[in-house]
Structure 1
Amino acid sequence: MINKKKLVLVLSFLAYFTINSLFLYKYGSRQNYISVFLILLLYPAFQFLTFYFLKITNFKEQVYKMLFFIIVFTFFIFTIVLNNFVDGNTLIVDRWSAIDVSVHAVLNGEYPYSIPNHLGQYSSNLPSLVIIGLPFYLFGDVGFLQSFTFLFFAYILHKSFTNYKVKLLGILLLISSIFYLWEVYTKSELMSNFIFVLGFIVLWSKKYSKSLFKKSFLLGVITSFIALTRIPVLIPLVIFLFKDFLNTSIKKKIYFIISSMVVTLFLGFVVLKDCPNIEVLKNYNPLTLQGNKTPLLISLISLLLPFFISFKVKNEAINTVLYSIPIILIPILGHFLSSWFNYGFEKTIFNSFADISYFNMVSPLLIYYIIYSFNKEVFKPIEEKGTE
C-alpha cells in the first residue's frame, strides 16, 4: 500500500524540480557553453546526490552544525556583494523598482501608485511592502531585503528542527534553487514576502500552539500587516486562523478586529494621503493593478477555498503549509497552462506570456514542507533503526 505522506513528499519534489526546470530552461538557453538539456539532466542529478549524501552520512552533530553556520554566513555575504554588483536599472524585472519608487514617493509626500518605475510600469505593492522596503531603501538598496529574509529563513529552520543535518538540507535546498538565485539577482521580493508569511505561521504556531488567539490584539496587528503585502498571502493566513477565530471568545474577537482595523487604516493613510483626487485613486491603486493580473473567477475560488479548508486541517503549521501550496498554485498554474495552450510553450516561456516567477510564491512553503517531510519520513526512521 502506498504511503500517502511519502507520495505527497514525492509530488513536492516534482513540483520543486519543475519550477527549477522552468527557470533553467528559460535562462539556461541564453548561454551557448553547455546544452540546456544537459543542464536539465545534471541539475536534478546534483540535487539527488546531495540528498543521498546527507542520508547516508552520519558525522557528528557538530560537523553539520559548523557547516550550517558557515554556509549561512557565506551566502549572506554573497547576497550583499551581489546586490552591490547588480545595477537594478539594467534589469528587465521591476519588482525592486516598484518598492524603491513607492518608498521614495511616501518619504517625499507623493502618491506612490501614479509614479512609473524604471520600466515605465506602476507599482501594485500593497502598503506593508512599502513599509518593509523602507529600512533597506535607507540602507541604499531595497535588494538587501533578500539578505535579511535569507537569514530569517535560516532562523525558521533553526527554530523548527533540532537536527542540524535537516537544517543543513534546508539551507542547501534553498541556495541551490535556480528560482531563488534568480530572486536574489533581480532583487525581487516575491519569495521574501512568503518567507515572512512562513515565518509567522511557523513561529506563532510554535509559541501559541494551544491557543492561537492567546495574544489576540498582537495577532491582529501582525496578521493585518502581513495581509497588506500581497493578496495571495490571505490564503495561508485564512487556513491558519479562520477556524480558531470562530471558536475564540467574543472579547478576543473584538481585540483582533480592532487591532486589525487600526493597522489597516494607518497603513492605508500612509500610502493614500497624498493622492491628488478621486480619479487618480480610481485608476491607480494596488487592488486594481493586482486584480488585472488574474481572472476574477479564479481569484475568487482561490480566496474562498481557504475558509472551507480551515475546518479540515489540524491546528499545526505544517498542515497550513501543505494545503496552502495547491491553492496558491491554482491561478498561477491555470494562467500558465492557458498561455501554453494558446501561444505554445516557447512563447509562454521566452515571451513571458505567463510570468514563471509567480511560481516563487509557493517556493518557500514547498521547500519547508520538503524539509519537514524529509525529516519525518527519511531521517527519523534511520535514527530509530540505528537505536534498536
Structure 2
Amino acid sequence: MILAILFSIIVILLLFKIDSVNIQKLKIDYKRQFFIIVSIITLAMLILVIATPDTSQVGRLPAINEWLANLLSGKFPYNTPANPSSFPMMFIIALPFYLIGELGFMEVLGFVIFAIIVFYYSITMKDIVMRLFLLLTLPMFYYEILVRSELFFNVVLVILAVLFTKKYLLQNKINLPFILTAILYGLLLSTRLIAGIVIAIFILYFFRSNYRQMIIFSAICILSFIATIVPFIIWDTQYFLHKGPFSVQSLYLPKIVILLAPLVIIFFVKYLRNIRDVFFYIGAVLFVLVAISFSLHCINYGFYESIFERSSYFDIGYFIFPIPFFIFSINSKLEVN
C-alpha cells in the first residue's frame, strides 16, 4: 500500500504538469520520465518481494515449487499435496524463476511488460499515467506480488500475444507466421483454462470474416495444447485425468455454468465492433465467472470463511484476471496499431 500511496502522489503531480501530450510528439524528457517512474516502481517491487517472506495460505507458490521439484527429480509432477491446477506450460515458464530461487519475480516482470504495453498503446502521457494509476492503486495487485502469484504475469502474456497477433498476423493468409502463432496460442492455452476464454473470444473476433482460417488456426492451437499434456497423460493417466488440472479447475464453477458459458460467449461476440470492445468483453466475462465462483463459495462456506479460513478460503487473487483487460479497453491506440 505504501507503493500505491507514493505512486498516487506522483500521478497527481504529473497530471498537473502533463496536459494530454501526444505520445508521437513526446520529447525525450517525457520518455525518460516514464522510464524513471517505471524503474523506481519495479525496483520497489523487487525489494518488496525479496524483503517479504511468503506466509500466506495461498497454494499457488507451493504448487509450482512442488511440481517443478517433482519433475526435476523424475517424479510425476502433479502428484503433490498442493494439487497443482495449472497446465504444464505455466510451470515451464516458471522454471527460470524457480531456478534462481524467487518465483515472485514473475509478477514483477509481468508489471514491466504491462507498463511497456501501456506506453506503446496509449495516446497521451496522461493516458499512460492513469492506466498505471488504475493498476498500482489496487491492493489486489500487491496481494498478488506478496503471495508470489503468477496470475497477473499469465494474463499479461496472453494480452501480449493478442496484441501481437492483431498487429502482425494477416487474417486471410495461411503461412508460417500463421502456424507459429497458432502454436503459440496452444502453448498459452497450456497455462490455465482461463487463457482459453481469452483466446476463444479473440479468435472468434479476429477471424470473424474468415471461417476457414478460424477453423485451421483453432485446430493447430488445440493440437499444440494437446501436445503439451500428452506426455503427462501417458506418464500417469489415472492421476492426470482424475486429479490433474482438468479436474482441479473444473471445481471452480458448477457444470451448468461450464456448459453454458461457451454458448453465451459465442452469442455476444458478434456484437463486438473493435478490439477495445473485445478487451472490455473479455474483462466482463472473466469478472462474471470469478464473481459467480466466489459467490457460490461464500454461499457454501460463508463470507468470512471464504476470505480468511485456511480450510475453506477462496483465492481472491482470481479477481486480477479481468483488470488488465478493463484497463486496456479505455481509450487507446488499440484500433490504430
TM-score when scaled to structure 1? Answer: 0.72
Residue in structure 2 matched with residue 313 of structure 1 by the alignment: 272
Aligned: 1:304 with 2:263 = yes
2:321 counterpart (327, 336, 361): 361
C-alpha deviation, 1:124, in angstroms: 0.8
2:133 counterpart (172, 190, 209): 172
Residue in structure 2 matched with residue 242 of structure 1 by the alignment: 204
Residue in structure 1 matched with residue 78 of structure 2 by the alignment: 113
2:61 counterpart (79, 84, 96): 96
Alpha-carbon contact 1:142-1:187 (below 8 Å) kept: yes
User: Deviations along 1:305-343, whole A, 9 cap, x unmatched?
Assistant: 2222232213x3312111112222223222333455566
Alignment of 1:249-288 (within 5 A): 250=212, 252=213, 256=217, 259-275=220-236, 278-288=237-247
Q: Name the amino acid aligned to 2:261.
A: S
C-alpha deviation, 1:85, in angstroms: 2.2
Residue in structure 2 matched with residue 189 of structure 1 by the alignment: 150
C-alpha deviation, 1:158, in angstroms: 2.2
C-alpha deviation, 1:54, in angstroms: 2.0
Distance, in Å, in 2 between the alignment partners of 1:203 and 1:257 is 17
Distance, in Å, in 1 between the alignment partners of 2:199 and 2:318 is 19
Structure 2: which 5+ runs fail to align? none
Residue in structure 1 matched with residue 116 of structure 2 by the alignment: 155
Residue in structure 2 matched with residue 223 of structure 1 by the alignment: 185
Aligned: 1:74 with 2:74 = no
User: Deviations along 1:23-48, whole A, 9 cap, x unmatched?
Assistant: x9xxxxxxxxxxxxxxxxx98xx969
Distance, in Å, in 1 between the alignment partners of 2:301 and 2:76 is 37
Distance, in Å, in 2 between the alignment partners of 1:125 and 1:115 is 13
> What fraction of aligned residue pairs are identical, expressed as a percent?
24
Distance, in Å, in 2 between the alignment partners of 1:244 and 1:212 is 13
Q: Name the amino acid aligned to 2:322.
A: V
Q: Aligned-pair RMSD on alpha carbons?
A: 3.4
Distance, in Å, in 1 between the alignment partners of 2:301 and 2:58 is 22
Structure 1: which 5+ runs fail to align? 1-23, 25-41, 377-388
C-alpha deviation, 1:177, in angstroms: 1.7
**Which entry has the higher C-alpha Rg, 1 or 2?**
1
TM-score when scaled to structure 2? Answer: 0.82
Query: How many residues matched?
Result: 325
Distance, in Å, in 2 between the alignment partners of 1:254 and 1:58 is 46
Task: Call closer, same or farther: CA 1:195–1:183 in 2, change over 3 Å.
Answer: same
Task: Call closer, same or farther: CA 1:212–1:67 in 2, change over 3 Å.
Answer: farther
